[in-house]
Structure 1
Amino acid sequence: MQKKQIYTRNLEPLTVGNRLPNIIINDNREEEIDLHSIKKNKVYISVPSFGNHAIMKEIAKLDIIFADFEDIDFYLISNEPVYTQKRLGSGKKLKTFKFLSDFKLRNFARYTGTYIYEISSLVKSVFIVDANDEVKLVEYYDDLYSNIDVNEVTKIINELKEAAY
């Protein structure tokens, strides 16, 4: 039996109830945006690479599942340059996710505890953040090939929708 690889991540991880730190990141036009400027409920999923077939296959499935949540913004983040994300993500035909790049400033990696030293990349993780930037769910997947817990993610999204009404 093959032993699962566990990676070393940076800093203290975020926990539920924390306020998302002030994070500046690049959108798909290479323009800097402040994540605090997004005044909606949102889901951030970080991945090590858009070029990893197994991870992007999972993201494609999530794209279909999350399509029904029109009042939530979904973001897919890696620390690859924007042009690499575009090249690797162009054939994926994702409709729900917007791409964000942490390549230039590494603020997302720094402030969320998602940077993996051994592979100079982001760990696969999920953050659900409400419109006031309060963290409602945090999941870190140190085994990069673990599947995202879709049931838990959709449960928290539904709770956010109910709280809005």
Structure 2
Amino acid sequence: MASVTFKGTNMTLVGNEVKVGDKAPNFTVLANDLSEVTLDDTKGSVRIISVVPSIDTGVCDAQTRRFNEEASKLDNVKVLTISVDLPFAQARWCAASGLDNVVTLSDHRDLSFGEAYGVVMKELRLLARSVFVVDSNDMVTYVEYVSEGTNHPDYDKAIAAAKEAK
């Protein structure tokens, strides 16, 4: 399993570690209107799955904005930002941020995504900061489990992977 810390404290990750070359595991999360969303709902597109501990923090806010800004320049790329924040809090953040095209999804209900991708921090019941690029055929082409939860991911590598994915 990947090894991560949060504010310098070692975290136990729960779930299955995902690696480049794996078929992307399906999951069920909630949209802001409480409807269910699965990976299959975006089939046929390249997906950048941007995972954040909480949308309401500085690094998470910056990560969400950066991936959405970069992806808006790419054809057939969708950015899914996933956290365990309640859908209502995510909707509030989207409204306050002024970003209309951000897709925020909540894994609060049953940690379906977090366990499928091995990013549940057991001690905090939050998702570990991570990035996954999934191609249009549901194959994982890029994985980053950010080693310290308060650090930024490698935006350039993730965007490059999304550009290369088909």
Query: What is the TM-score with the length of structure 2 in the denominator?
Result: 0.87
Alignment of 1:28 onto 2:32 = yes
* Whole-Å separation in 2 of the counterparts to 1:83 and 1:133: 29
Q: Structure 1 residue 96: deviation in Å?
A: 4.5
CA 1:97–1:70 in structure 2 vs 1: closer, same or farther (change >3 Å)? farther
Residue 102 of structure 2 is aligned with which of 97, 100, 104?
Answer: 97
Paired amino acid for 1:30: L
Runs of 4 or more, structure 1, over 6 Å off, are none
Percent identity between matched residues is 24
* Whole-Å separation in 2 of the counterparts to 1:37 and 1:18: 19
**Contact 1:6/1:143 (<8 A) preserved:** no
Q: Structure 1 residue 103: deviation in Å?
A: 1.2
Give 1:1-20 correspondences, 5 Å limit: 4-20=8-24
Would you say how many aligned residue pairs link Structure 1 and Structure 2?
Answer: 159
CA RMSD of aligned residues (A): 1.8
CA 1:95–1:142 in structure 2 vs 1: closer, same or farther (change >3 Å)? farther
Bigger CA radius of gyration = 1
Q: Structure 1 residue 81: deviation in Å?
A: 1.4
* Whole-Å separation in 1 of the counterparts to 2:114 and 2:21: 19
Residue in structure 1 matched with residue 88 of structure 2 by the alignment: 83
* Whole-Å separation in 2 of the counterparts to 1:5 and 1:97: 31
Query: What is the TM-score with the length of structure 1 in the denominator?
Result: 0.87
**Contact 1:6/1:142 (<8 A) preserved:** no
**Contact 1:63/1:95 (<8 A) preserved:** no
Q: Structure 1 residue 63: deviation in Å?
A: 2.7
* SS at 1:127 equivalent: strand
Give 1:80-159 correspondences, 5 Å limit: 80-159=85-164
* Whole-Å separation in 2 of the counterparts to 1:5 and 1:90: 33
